[in-house]
Structure formats: C-alpha cells, structure tokens
DNA sequence: TGTTACAATGTGAACGTTCACATTTGAGAT
DNA sequence: ATCTCAAATGTGAACGTTCACATTGTAACA
C-alpha cells in the first residue's frame, strides 16, 4: 500500500496562506470567497493534487452522497434482464446530475448475496436506496421497510403500504396490445401468462389489462386461451403448443414477455405456419432481440430509463426532506407495432 | 430529513457497561473479547438498533471499502452490451465476498458523464477502480493513470504501460472460430471486420486470430474477403451484401460480433440462400439473442463473468498491497457451435 | 506467595472535514 | 475622520470510529 501521507485541507491552507475553512469554502463552491482567494487556493489544490476525503466529509455532514441500488436478482437473471441496465442508466444520469454516487448492491438468494444486502442495511452506507423489484425478490424488501433511510421501489412494493414506488403501466400496456389485436379483427387471442398469480404484481396487471380489453370489446374471457409460462423462451414454446392443440386455436397470441413471444413464433413456424400471416404474435418488454428477430416483434415497451430517472428524482427529494405527494408513480408503457402483428 | 439522534458506539458501550473500544472490537469480530462480553454487547447493539457509521470507519481506517466501477459507455451503448452486466455480476460477487462495496460510475462523453468521472477521480471515494474499456472510452482513462489509487482495466489498457488489465483471448477465440470453419471444408471465409484498425484493440486481435488460422491452414489472406462494419446489425447486412456480390462469394462468413452476424444471416436469407446449407455464419460474443435466433448462432463466448471476477480479485490484491505478478491476464474464449455452422 | 505473561479491557489521540460562531476587513454613510 | 454593516476570513468543536498504548485481571509457574 502506498503510505504517502495524505494531502489535507490544512496542507492546502498552509501553502495558500489562508485558513482551512477558506479552503473548505472553495471546494464547496461557497460564494463567500473573493475571486482572488479562490484562484490562489484552486492553484494550490491543483499543485498539491489535493483530493478531499469523502469519508471526512460524510462524517462531518452526516450525509454520504451515496444512493444504494439494491438489485435482488440472482446473477443469471440479472444478465438476462435488458431493462435493468436501462434503469440503471436512468438512475445514474439523475444521480450524476445531482452529485450523488451510485452504490450497487446485488442481493441474490445466495449467502453472499444476502451478505451484501445485509451490509447495506446494517451500515449507514447510503442516504437512501432504490430497490429493483423482481420475481426473485422474496426476501429482503420487507426488511427495508423497517429501517429509517428513505427508499423507493422500481416495481411494486408489496411489503410497505406507505412505501414509494415507480413502475410502468403494465395494465394499460397489456390493454393496448390486446386492443391492437382486436382492432386487427382477432377474436380468439391466446395469452401466454407468467408464473402463478400473486407472485409478481406486474404479471397480474398485464393479465388484467388483457381482460379489460376483451371486456371493452365485448369478447368473453376464455380460460382455455390462457396458458401459464415462466417468462423463459422454452416455456413460450411449450405454451404455444398447447394453444395450437386447441380445437379452435387462437389466431393471435399475446405473450406477457418477449422471450416467450419469440418462443411462440418459433413454435408456430415449426408447425408450418407463418407469422403474421397465419397467426399474429405480440410480446411485452421490447428487449433488443425483439427488433432484430425475424419477423420483428410487436411488443410493449417499458420506459425503463425514465423509470430509473423518476425513481432517483423522487428518492433525492425524500432524502432532501422535500414533500413527495404521490406514493405511486405510474409511467405509461408504449405499444410498438412491428412485423409480427 | 429524520433528525433522530444517531446511536453511536459510545451509546452502546454505556448501555452495555463496557468501554467503546470493546464495542469496536465486537463489531470488528476481534477475538480479544470474552464470549460473555461479546454476547452482551451484541444484545445491546440489537436492542438499540446500532449501525456503525461507514464514514467514521473510513475516516479512521483510511480505507473506504469501496471499489469504483467506471464504465465509459454512453447510456445507449451501455444498454445494448450484454457483456457488461455479466462482468458487473462477476465483480460484484467478488466484492461482496470480500466485504467491498461497488460504486458505479458511468462516464459518457456527455458533460454529466464526465462530471461523474471527474468526481470519482478528484475525490478519495474508493480504494481502487475497475475500468471497463470500450469503444467509447477515448477520454478519461489516460487521466486514471496519473492518480495514485490502484486500478485495473477490463479490456486493453492502451494508456498505461504499467497498468493492469484483464481481457479474454480475442485472438485465440477468432482463431478457433476460423479453424472451425476451415475444418468444415471452407476455403473462402468472409470476415466482417470492426471499425477502423487501431481504434479498438480487441478488433485487431480478432482479425489477427483470423489471419493466423488461415495461415496455419495454408490459406491465403484475401483482402476482398474482409469488409468493414461498425458492430451494428445493419452494418453486418451491408457488409454481407458486398461479400455476396463478389465474383466468388465466400462459403462462410465470420463476423467479429454477433449483431453483425445476425445481420449477415438476415441478408443471406433475403438473397434466397439458407444458413447453414448454402453459407455458414459464425459470430463473436454470444449475446443472449445468439441462442434464440433461428438458426441459432455459432459464436465465440467471452468469459464475461470470470473477467469481472478476475479483475476484482486482482484489484483487491493491489489495494491490499499484495504482489501481483502479471500485468496482463488473458482468459480463454470459447467457441460455441450451434446451428449456423 | 510472589513473579511472570498474556488475555481482556480501557483511555487519549487521530483521521479530515463541516458547522457554528468569532474576528477582521473594507466600503459607504455620516 | 468616525461609525455601521456586511462581506471575507479565521477558530474551536464536533462528527463516530480505529489505532496505539496503558491498565487491569488472572492463570501458570517457580
């Protein structure tokens, strides 16, 4: 380890011939300093290569200027989620703009994952936290509700009635997608569902959107047209086989995520049918592959980056003690029509 | 802001009837404490909901227990890079295991991006940094070389001769991919190259691997078979059109990344040809879409997670002042044979 | 029974900054 | 020339922990 003695605010002060407090004012851009003094101090800072100690600042100011980003994904899941980076990007943009740093804390179900999570919770390491809600997030979130620091969930905070959350309008997105299919004349619309109801709020919301659309069009909801999947491509393939095996197969399939939708298209093609000529397919999420796939996939795009940005904005307000009126912010999802429909 | 007074080590000490140093020993798992004392203190910590102040710890210990992750991507690029999350995941795993926190700092070319980067550089915010080298990383890395804290580059550190770097064996991966095609009997192998030579080391390495493979098989390197792309899918399509327009078109195409390979397949199909029957295609990267695409894409997989993990391991050694012998660690890339070849 | 040695615990100082307040400086009004 | 007031700058204390060293307690030994 380099044991070179650290350059402190006092070293700078001595060299510049001012008091340390003046140096402090300079590095904090306080306006209570003459331009002349500021100039001189700045030069010395440059010359001595002085870097203020964040730790000392934090200790003194009682703030860390760090926002924790808690991602309760297992590593594999994390890699596969295209939203996540977009969300992070939005969060990061907002944090950067406000001189906040972003501390990443993935917290899987593994021991080491929970360790990171615990460390985050048990140490005053950040001024607040953004939690990304996922299918995997069975543990941990409930713990968050108990501690003092403000936090906000991207997704649905099912553990804290008074919590803050930001999510996209899954219901409206699914409704639009379904209406889009109905408008194209489809009456029997198969739905590839997510895992068991209640586990993931977004799944329920999307399903609800589907139902509402049917209802508003005067179509009946038919149980046989709803097949369960688990958000993986193979499950989409499997579900599609079931749908195609029906006495009257659907003429359109709405998969609750893109990966399953791609699986659906593949299975349809395997059966000698063409998309969109024979069967139309719509997905949800707008993953990068959706645009690249042939046929390109009609899907519902979530405003991932905006979600991240909004979550960060609200959290920063909470940290600053400013009032935040809405506990739940819902951003609109957007239907993107491509070749598959 | 909640202004509740903070519970400190001294509050715990008073309550438990011991000195604050003893409390410190307990929270640091020092073995110089009786089980009895430890128990009592632990109970009080629990009861008072004491959380040690990271800032105070850092200030005292002169370490932050934070590793900075600098990602010089622009936001859009960041979202599209499937490696990145895998790398982060590996880094995070290693950090977690060693009680280190991971601070994210994306640093694009934008003003706000550079701001984050500067903040990182000008404040003692982390004990060390991991820099992800990218096509975008034209600025910034050179600055890193000038400062004291240890850092390591995932990719090729072209700014610092004495720097540390970890990357996958692009050359060997490309060589294997090319040999794979040669073994299948292909003599004319088109190559969809990356942007201008010299800009990205990995591109050069991959191209070199291609050349070496040709040479080792006694095949000549033909300039007309090498077409420039820019790592986007459309550029792959465009390049493929050029290759197919040759008097003697190649029977195999090796694209230096998957996105261009997918573009190549699409163009080949548009021309009424089939993959792999008429033309064989190989990519590089193994993005998620590579496995989903039809035909699934033969490609070279980078050990992204291992890269992250290794980088973190080395950085932690550097921070601890332990000797690190190799300045450049190269992890093997792996050819994944799928339908497209 | 006194000495030794080491384990357990306690005390003062230090880490580098910001905060709250005190002091100095200088320009304008009298 | 003196006074006033605000702007500029300076000083002591505090933030909560760890480090280095000091003290106490206790078991093992001669």
Tell me the DSSP string of B36-69.
Answer: HHHHHHHHHHHHHT---BHHHHHHHHS---EEEE
The residue count of chain B comes to 341
C1'-nearest nucleotide to the CA of A20? D10
Average pLDDT value for chain B: 86
Closest CA to B311 of B329, B299, B337: B329
Same domain, B297 and B183: yes
Q: What is the chain A residue with the closest CA to B89?
A: A75
Residue B61 lies in a domain: no
Q: Tokens 């003692």 — which residue? A: B124
- How much is the average pLDDT of A48-74? 83
- Residue B163 counted as domain residue: yes
Q: What is the largest CA-CA distance in chain B?
A: 90
- pLDDT band for B177, please (50, 70, 90 cuts): very high
pLDDT over 50 at A326, yes or no? yes
In this structure, the answer to whether residues B246 and B126 fall within a common structural domain is: no
User: What is the C-alpha to C-alpha distance for residues B215 and B217, in angstroms, rounded to an integer?
Assistant: 5
Pairing of strands B226-228, A280-282: unpaired
Contact residues, chain A, for B6 at CB < 8 Å: 62, 124
Instruction: Give the nearest partner residue to B54 out of A82, A125, A233, using CB atoms.
Output: A125
Q: Which residues pair with A191 in a beta bridge?
A: A226, A254
Distance CA A332, CA A325 (A): 19
Residues with Cβ within 8 Å of residue A3, at least 6 apart in sequence: none
The C-alpha angle with vertex B242 and arms to B237 and B246, in degrees rounded to 5, equals: 140
Yes or no, beta carbons of B53 and A124 under 8 Å apart: yes
Of the listed ranges A90-104, A167-181, A325-339, B218-232, the least confidently predicted one is: A90-104
Domain count, chain B: 3
Q: How far is the CA of A16 from the C1' of C19 (A)?
A: 22
In sequence order, which residues have a C-beta less than 8 Å from that of residue A260 and are 6 or more positions away?
A192, A229, A231, A232, A233, A235, A236, A239, A283
> Is residue B8 within 8 angstroms of chain A, CB to CB?
no
Q: Are residues A75 and A124 in the same domain?
A: yes
pLDDT of B135 higher than 60: no
One domain for residues B296 and B175: yes
pLDDT band at B255 (very low <50, low <70, confident <90, very high): very high
At A88, which CATH number?
3.40.50.2300
Residue A59 in domain: no
On average, the pLDDT of chain A sits at: 86
**Pair (A90, A114) in one structural domain:** yes
A204: exposed, middle or buried (Cβ count in 10 Å: 0-12, 13-18, 19+): middle
Residues of A (158-217) whose Cβ lies below 8 Å from B: none
Give the per-residue pLDDT at A117: 60
Residue B282 lies in a domain: yes
Whether B242 and B317 share a structural domain: no
Residues 6+ apart with CB under 8 A from B186: B250, B251, B252, B280
The three-state secondary structure class of A115 is helix
How many angstroms away from the CA of B132 is the closest CA of chain A?
15
Q: Which two tokens stand for residue A106?
A: 């993935």
The answer to whether residue B338 is domain-embedded is no
Whether residue A122 sits in one domain with residue A106: yes
Q: What is the mean pLDDT of residues A183-199?
A: 88
CA angle B296, B297, B298 (to 5 degrees): 125
Contact B267, B166 (CB under 8 A): no
* Surface of B (77-136) touching A: CB under 8 A: 78-82, 84-86, 88-89, 92-93, 95-97, 99, 101-106, 112-113, 115-116, 119-120, 122-125
What's the number of CA atoms in the CB half-sphere (13 Å) around residue A240?
31
Q: Are B116 and B262 within one domain? A: no
Q: Looking at per-residue confidence, does B143 or A264 come out higher?
A: A264
Q: Quote the CA–CA distance of B319 and B310 in Å, as a whole number.
A: 14
**B116 pLDDT higher than 70:** no
Distance CA A69, CA B239 (A): 41
Nucleotide nearest to A32 (CA to C1'): D8
User: Quick one: average pLDDT of B300-328?
Assistant: 92
CA of A308 to C1' of C23 (A): 48
Closest among A115, A126, A99 to B55, alpha carbons compared: A126
In order of A70, A192, B45, B298, the CA distances from B52 in angstroms are: 20, 48, 10, 51
- Asked if residue A149 has pLDDT above 70, the reply is yes
A156 and A265, same structural domain?
Answer: no
Q: Which nucleotide is nearest to B11 (CA to C1')?
A: D16
Which residues in chain B have Cβ-Cβ distances shorter than 8 Å to A125? 54, 101
Residue B2 has pLDDT above 50, yes or no: no
Say yes or no to pLDDT of A192 above 50: yes
Which pLDDT value is given to residue A3? 45
Strand segments, DSSP code E, in A242-305 are: 252-255, 280-282, 299-301
Task: Judge if B100 and B204 occupy the same domain.
Answer: no
Q: Within a domain: residue B2?
A: no
**Which of B6, B124, B269 is the closest to A54 by Cβ?**
B124
Interatomic CA distance for residues A211 and A205, integer angstroms: 10
With an 8 Å Cβ cutoff, are A59 and B64 in contact? no
Q: Do B221 and B192 reside in the same domain of the chain?
A: yes
Q: What is the mean pLDDT of residues A294-303?
A: 93
Backbone angles phi, psi at B165, to 5 degrees: -150, 150
Which of B330, B302, B327 lies closest to B151 in space, CA to CA? Answer: B327
* pLDDT at A235 > cutoff 90: yes
Q: What gap in Å lies between CA A129 and CA A150, rounded to an integer? A: 7
Do residues B321 and B205 share a domain?
A: no
A337 touches chain B (CB under 8 A): no
Provide the b/e sequence for B221-230 (b: ≥16 CB within 10 Å): eeeebbbebb
Residue B66 (CA) to nucleotide D21 (C1'), in angstroms, measures: 30
* Cβ neighbours for A183, distance < 8 A, ≥ 6 positions apart: none
d(CA B157, CA A272): 51
Confidence bin at A268 (pLDDT 50/70/90): very high
Strand order in the sheet with B226-228: B226-228, B189-193, B252-255, B280-282
How many other β-carbons are positioned within 10 Å of the β-carbon of residue A274? 12
> What is the distance between the alpha carbons of residues B98 and B26, in angstroms, rounded to a whole number?
19
Per-residue model confidence (pLDDT) at position A2 = 38
Q: Is B272 on the interface with A (CB under 8 A)?
A: no
Enumerate residues 6+ apart whose C-beta is below 8 A from A191: A207, A210, A225, A226, A227, A253, A254, A255, A256
Domain membership flag for residue B26: yes
- Domain assignment of residue B20, given as a range: 9-52
Write down the residue that tokens 């030069």 correspond to.
Answer: A43
3-state secondary structure (DSSP) of residue A5 = coil
Between CA B217 and CA B227 the distance in angstroms is 21
B55 contacts in chain A (CB < 8 Å)? 54-59, 64, 124
| Domain annotation covers residue B225 | yes
**Chain A residues within 8 A of B274 when measuring between CB atoms:** none
Residues in chain A: 341
Which tokens hold the place of A255? 């998969």
Side by side, the strands of the sheet bearing B328-331 are: A328-331, A164-168, A151-154, A128-132, A66-71, A101-106, B101-106, B66-71, B128-132, B151-154, B164-168, B328-331
Mean pLDDT to the nearest integer, B156-183: 92
Position B248 pLDDT exceeds 80: yes
d(CA B309, CA B313): 6
Strand order in the sheet with A280-282: A226-228, A189-193, A252-255, A280-282
> Which residues are within 8 A (CB) of A314 and not within 5 positions of it... i.e. 6 or more apart?
A152, A164, A166, A324, A329
pLDDT at A263: 95
Max mean pLDDT range (A100-114, B148-162, B214-228)? B214-228
């Amino acid at each position: 380890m380099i044991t070179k003695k650290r350059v402190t605010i006092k070293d700078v002060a001595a060299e510049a011939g001012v008091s340390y407090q003046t140096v402090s004012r300079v590095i904090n851009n306080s306006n209570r300093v003459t331009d002349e003094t500021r100039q001189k101090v700045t030069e010395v800072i440059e010359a001595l290569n002085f870097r203020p100690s964040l730790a000392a600042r934090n200790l003194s100011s009682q703030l860390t200027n760090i926002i924790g980003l808690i991602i309760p994904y297992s590593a594999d899941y994390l890699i596969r989620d295209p939203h996540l980076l977009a969300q992070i990007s939005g969060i990061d943009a907002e944090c950067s703009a406000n001189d906040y740093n972003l501390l990443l804390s993935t917290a899987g179900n593994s021991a080491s994952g929970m360790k990171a999570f615990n460390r985050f919770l048990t140490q005053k390491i950040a001024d607040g936290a953004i939690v990304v809600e996922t299918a995997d997030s069975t543990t941990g979130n409930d713990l968050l509700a108990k501690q003092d620091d403000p936090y906000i969930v991207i997704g649905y905070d099912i553990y804290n009635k008074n919590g803050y959350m930001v999510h996209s309008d899954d219901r409206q997105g699914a409704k639009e997608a379904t209406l889009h299919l109905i408008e194209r004349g489809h009456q029997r619309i198969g739905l590839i569902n997510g895992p068991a109801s209640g586990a993931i709020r977004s799944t329920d919301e999307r399903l609800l959107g589907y139902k509402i659309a049917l209802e508003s069009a005067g179509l009946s909801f038919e149980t046989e047209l709803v097949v369960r999947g688990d958000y993986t491509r193979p499950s989409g393939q499997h579900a599609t086989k079931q749908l195609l095996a029906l006495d009257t197969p659907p003429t359109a399939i709405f998969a609750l995520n893109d990966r399953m939708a791609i699986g659906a298209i593949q299975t349809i093609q395997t059966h000698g049918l063409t998309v969109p000529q024979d069967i139309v397919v719509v997905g949800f999420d707008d993953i990068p592959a959706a645009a690249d796939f042939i046929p390109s996939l009609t899907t519902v795009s979530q405003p991932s980056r905006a979600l991240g940005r909004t979550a960060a904005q609200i959290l920063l307000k909470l940290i600053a003690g400013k009032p935040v009126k809405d506990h739940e912010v819902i951003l609109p999802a957007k239907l993107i029509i491509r070749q598959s429909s």
